[in-house]
Amino acid sequence: MAAPLVLGILVAVTVRAVLYRSSLAGFISERVEVASPLNAWKRVVEGLALLDLGVSPYSGDVFHETPLIIYLFHFLIEYSELVFMITDVLTAVALYLAVQDFNKVVFKKQKLLMELDRYASDVAELIRTPMEMHYIPLKVALFYLLNPYTVMSCVAKSTCAINNTVIAFFILATIKGSTLLSAIFLAVATYQSLYPLTLFAPALLYLLQRQFIPVKLKSKGFWLYTTQYAALYLCSLVVIVCLSFFLLNSWDFIPSVYGFILSVPDLTPNIGLFWYFFAEMFEHFSLFFVCVFQINVFFYTIPLAVKLKEHPIFFLFVQLAIISIFKSYPTVGDVALYMAFLPLWSHLYRFLRNIFILSCVLIVCSLLFPVLWHLWIYAGSANSNFYYAITLTFNVGQILLISDYFYAFLRREYYLTHGLYLTRKDGTEAMLVLK
Amino acid sequence: MAGAVAAVLGLLLLLGSPGGSTGPPRDSLREELLLSPLPSGDLAATFQFRARWDSELHREGVSHYRLFPKALGQLISKYLVRELHLSLTQGFWRTRTWGQPYLQAPAGAELWVWFQDSVTDVDKAWKELSNILSGIFCASLNFIDSTNTVTPTASFKPLGLANVTDHHLLRYAVLPREVVCTENLTPWKKLLPCGSKAGLAVLLKAERLFHTSYHSQAVHIRPICRDASCLSVSWELRQTLTVVFDTFSIGQGKRDWSLFKMFSRTVTEACPLASESKIYVDISSKTQENKLLEVTPLPLSVHEASVQGDRRTYAVYDLLSPSLFNVSRSLNVQLKWKRPQDSLDLSTPVLHAQRYVSGYGLQTGEISTLIYNTHPYRAFPVILLETVPWYLRLYVHTLVITTKGKENKPSYIHYQPAQDRRRPHLLEMLIQLPANSVTKITIQFERALLKWTEYTPDPNHGFYVSPSVLSALVPSVIAMKAEDAEQSPLFTSLFPSSDGSSYFVRLYTEPLLVNLPTPDFSMPYNVICLTCTVVAVCYGSFYNLLTRTFHVEEPSKGGLAKRLANIIRKVRGVPPL
């Protein structure tokens, strides 16, 4: 299995290297879909230049990266292309190993449930076999590496790639079962972009499952483990934040990074829903709607945790998707991360209802983004509404994709426990509805 | 008895007079008009009214104002102002065709103030001061706020007496969009002691003054030495007004001009309150022998001065001398060209600059400044001050300065990045200009999308970027001797000169007009509805999936519509649904 992965990595690296040397590199780094005010490479260079001039990078409103990025690129600025290619490779390898391990867990669990007779009798075609699961890790890694979104993100040198690497390592550590490493990587991921805070719940559920601790609110073991994990997470977060303080000897980075993410002052267009909404917002309601939009990212966690407590990795996938869609400055790099997980649910294909139209919507929208941007900004023959419309469509497409996968997942679970060929009381074929 | 009454009266007089033995502070007024033909055939007229008041406004409680206007005096004492410079300008001084200006001002309104070091809250004082000045001069200076105010560190050093120069006491703001009109001229004229009734201010008629290529009126207040020993301080108020007449449109094609042609008035008397009232006409020409210009009436005296590195000759008309109005009651200075095709030789100004925006589209752009040093063999440094509004995000790592193809590193850079909606970018650099060279300074920027309420009512007109300021000590070709400020004409004592080998020049570049991407202003309700719909789609789908479970569908009898359809089918003889 390692050989195809290495081959895939080589192909991916070659594609990126070719694009770096071509004239497309400049064009791609300017694209607002790929580079947002939070993770554009131009702003990293600007922050380092300000530091050279003796001005704090956080004194203006151009630089919104964490001090970790300053520290990293202070030494590695000449090798930036290599750094981004390596991060992509690391993400792919981490996802590969994580999915490999996860498949083993899934298979073991399936075997256990079959022996316990939890499954209905006629669900033989829904049972997953090692044969079909064999190539999934490779598919996941290749889905990430060769996704045009990821390639563009890497060529534009957007620091979203670094965030993805940290999240991938967090997923690997969680699936391997290491509490400490999982907490540390989650802390780094939260420190980098704040929204991975919501991934605490799925990680906790998975680790509990792995330790065979049942999730009962009255159980002492549950609370013990939860507080242990939470304490590790919070301590590492505090340590990282304090280390950042000592880098520039000021707390300026907190309003500049986290205040910026939460209050959305910069209205540069991107593929998300926030920018045009706040550009057209009545000033009186601006604070109210900022709060509403930010709460929207965080409030699906608890209901999803209740519904999906037996399936934490699917919960993780849905949560990652919600973060990518509703975060304040999304880019295609964030979309690429959750799309890498789609091969993991390829067994749900038969239950997906709208996959064809949704994939068409996503592809067409991705192609129309640069066209309508050009018409608005350069040709002057369209206006901002055109670009906004494509943003809306793209986000609706993503939302329906995730809910479609969610529906298919729940439906398969129903069939597994109730049987595939359902009949009504009078013997005719039954329809399944969500009621 | 009479002696006792006299003694009592004398005592009363002594006690009655305020300040004891010293009388009220002395003040004096000098007025001056300088007419200089420009190389391109236009004519520049610079009025200067200078009131000097030997009083310490900050220490004593002053209540008796004579020549110094009360509005400004109260302003200085209340806000502890040390220096105040306000200018309102319409048009742009074309340095390349018109030569070096005596005192240039940027297009729009410019206000810079040095406060005393006893001021505790400079920003508050600045805000109140700009609001009051807005009321006094009927200009929208109340738009000066933190988004267009900067604190320069190297430019705009005090022009008057200064012992402490902490630059945190300085504030500078420019409003490039400000328009100057009669409404601003009237309160400016009201500050003059003689108003527009006597003296040179009689010529200031609005309908002629605004029919010009360049109109700049300014107020400068600064403390100066009272005498050579400089033990005490006097306050000087200079009101300057510079206009450039386009002789083509004024003279209907003929290049001869006269006071009457330009101002539609002539001078009849000097201001009675003025101690000095003079008109200077620049009659210097390259060769002394054949004079190209002829001035009538014949001047009573000729004054030679070295101004801005050049030796110039001026015809002087002293309005206070009794012999001037002997021949006619009014003075109409006329200038005739000997031969119609003559023109003054253009001596290229040693320092001039231009600035422009390049790039296409509404996403990015580049500001380029070109600075020319035409001195044949002397290099000198220049301080460049750029203030760029926050919505044009400058990237200082793209700053490139090239001279003659090679990179030119500035010896001093002060960069203060902008904060969104709070303060603008401030870039100050000290650049060395080699002799006979062109220096190009480029910096890239990104255009921001603003909230729909932050656009002006005509958003597609664009947004103004205030002019950049170049301050330099230009080396002069000839040696200039330092003259006593009181004896020399006013136009030579605008800037303090330290030595005779260089003169101070402050130049402004053009303001820039930059377009920003605009949202659709008719759409706020639609956008809110559509975006909330998308969020609701997500919420709805997830709500369904989270709260509902799968059930096997029970066959239903069918609703009313199905039963009606079945009845109709039975009537038609078709099998039921």
Per residue in B347-372, pLDDT (tens digit) is 778 899 999 999 999 999 999 999 99
- State the CB neighbour count (10 A cutoff) for residue B527: 23
pLDDT at B40: 78
Give the pLDDT score at B21: 42
Q: Which amino acid is at B492?
A: T
Residue scoring higher pLDDT (A276 or B491):
A276
- Residue B18 has what pLDDT? 46
pLDDT in tens, B531-557: 999 999 999 999 999 999 888 876 666
pLDDT above 50 (res B182)? yes
In this structure, is residue A279 part of a structural domain? yes
B483 pLDDT band, cuts 50/70/90, is low
- The first and second tokens of residue A305, run together, are 């945790």
pLDDT digits (tens, 9 = 90+) for B276-332: 899 999 887 655 555 667 787 888 888 888 777 778 888 888 888 888 777 777 888
Distance of CA A367 to the CA centre of its chain: 21
Q: Which of A267, A377, A396 sits opposite B362 (nearest CB)?
A: A377
Query: What H or E segment, with its residue span, contains residue B34?
Result: strand B27-37
Is the residue at A170 inside a domain?
yes
- Entry pTM: 0.90
- Measure CB to CB from residue B546 to each of A266, A303, A378 and give the nearest one: A303
CB contact under 8 A, B534 and A378: no
pLDDT at A257 over 50: yes
Average pLDDT over residues B492-500: 74
B542 at interface of A, judged by CB pairs closer than 8 A: yes
A347 within domain boundaries: yes
Residue B368 CA to chain centroid, in angstroms?
Answer: 21
Interatomic CA distance for residues B93 and B287, integer angstroms = 27
Determine which of B147, B532, B535, B556 to mutate to test the interface with A (most A C-beta atoms within 10 Å): B535
Both tokens of B531, joined, read 């975006």
Spatial separation of the C-alpha atoms in residues A43 and A406, rounded to whole Å: 37
Q: What is the pLDDT of residue A286?
A: 92
Q: Which domain holds residue A131?
A: 1-360
pLDDT at B184: 93
Taking only the tens place, the pLDDT of each residue in A178-221 is: 999 999 999 999 999 999 999 999 999 999 999 888 888 888 88
Residue range B508-518, pLDDT digits in tens: 999 999 999 99
Q: Is B277 left (phi over 0), alpha (psi -120 to 50) or beta?
A: beta
> Is the Cβ of B8 closer than 8 Å to some Cβ of chain A?
no
CA–CA distance, A239 with A241 (Å, rounded to integer): 6
Report how far residue B293's alpha carbon sits from residue B281's, in angstroms, rounded to the nearest whole number. 11
Q: What confidence tier does B22 reach under pLDDT thresholds 50, 70, 90? A: low
Choose the mutation target among B416, B546, B549, B554 for the interface with A, i.e. most A CBs under 10 Å.
Answer: B546
Query: Would you place residue B16 in the very low, low, confident or very high pLDDT band (cuts 50, 70, 90)?
Result: very low
Query: In the structure encoding, which two tokens stand for residue B306, read together?
Result: 């070295």
Q: What is the mean pLDDT of chain B?
A: 86
User: Taking 90 as the threshold, does the pLDDT of residue B124 lie above it?
Assistant: yes
Written as six digits, the tokens of B272 are 């009675």
> Cis link prior to B297 (omega < 30° from 0)?
yes
A407 lies in some domain: no
Nearest to A205 by CA among A346, A327, A349, A318: A318
Could you say which of B390, B417, B524 has the minimum Cβ distance to residue A59?
A: B417
Task: Measure in Å the smallest separation between the Cα of A409 and chain B Cα atoms.
Answer: 10
- In a domain? residue A275: yes
Is B412 touching A (CB cutoff 8 A)? no
Task: For residues A146 and B358, give the distance between their C-alpha atoms in angstroms, rounded to a whole number.
Answer: 38
- The chain B residue lying nearest A296, using CA atoms, is B535
Whether A65 has a pLDDT exceeding 80, the answer reads yes
Number of separate domains in chain A: 1
What rounded mean pLDDT belongs to chain A?
A: 92
Under an 8 A CB cutoff, do B397 and A49 touch? yes
Q: What are the backbone dihedrals phi and psi of residue B521, each rounded to the nearest 5 degrees, phi first?
A: -75, -10
In the prediction, which pLDDT does B19 show? 43
How far is the C-alpha of A245 from the C-alpha of A263, rounded, in Å? Answer: 22
| Residue contact A46–B413, C-beta within 8 A | no
**Of residues A48, A380, A392, nearest to B534 (C-beta):** A392
Q: Inter-chain contact A383–B518, Cβ cutoff 8 Å?
A: yes
Answer whether residue A183 is part of any domain.
yes
Interface TM-score (ipTM) > 0.90: yes
- Using a 10 angstrom Cβ sphere, with 0-12 exposed, 13-18 middle and 19 or more buried, the burial of residue A293 is buried
Compute the nearest-CA separation of A205 from chain B (Å). Answer: 18
User: What's the confidence (pLDDT) of residue B291?
Assistant: 64
Say which residue the tokens 């030495």 belong to: B225
Asked if the Cβ–Cβ distance from A403 to B538 is below 8 Å, we say yes
Residue A412 lies in a domain: no
Closest chain B C-alpha to A27 CA, distance in angstroms: 13
**A304: closest chain B residue by CA:** B546
End-to-end CA distance of chain B: 138
B contacts of A304 (beta carbons < 8 Å): 542, 546
Q: Are A136 and A107 in contact (CB under 8 A)?
A: no
Answer for the pair B560, A317: CB distance below 8 angstroms, yes or no.
no
Q: Report residue B197's pLDDT band, with 50, 70 and 90 as the boundaries.
A: confident
Q: Distance between CA B188 and CA B240 in Å, rounded?
A: 10
Instruction: For chain B, positions 143-202, list CB contacts with chain A under 8 A.
Output: none
The Cα A170–Cα A320 span in angstroms is 12
Q: Is the dihedral of CA A214, A220, A223, A225 positive or negative?
A: negative
Q: Are B536 and B528 in contact (CB under 8 A)?
A: no
Measure in Å the smallest separation between the Cα of A82 and chain B Cα atoms: 22
Strand-pair category, B469-475 with B380-388:
antiparallel
Element (H, E) at A397: helix A384-418
Q: Is the pLDDT of residue B12 over 70?
A: no
Are the Cβ atoms of A282 and B551 closer than 8 angstroms? no
Return phi, psi of residue B216, to 5°: -140, 125
Give B470→chain A minimum CA distance, Å.
22
Q: B393 at the A interface (CB within 8 A)? A: yes
User: In this complex, is the C-beta atom of B544 within 8 Å of any C-beta atom belonging to chain A?
Assistant: yes
Least confident range of A22-36, A68-82, A275-289, B250-264: B250-264
Contact B27, B229 (CB under 8 A): no
Distance of CA B58 to the CA centre of its chain: 27
Lowest mean pLDDT among A232-241, B211-220, B312-321: B312-321
Rounded to whole angstroms, the Cα distance separating B510 from B519 reads 28
**pLDDT value at position B290?**
56
CB contact under 8 A, A434 and B544: yes
User: At residue B7, does pLDDT exceed 70?
Assistant: no
* Alpha-carbon distance A18 to nearest alpha carbon in chain B (angstroms): 26
Q: Is residue A372 a part of any domain in this protein?
A: no
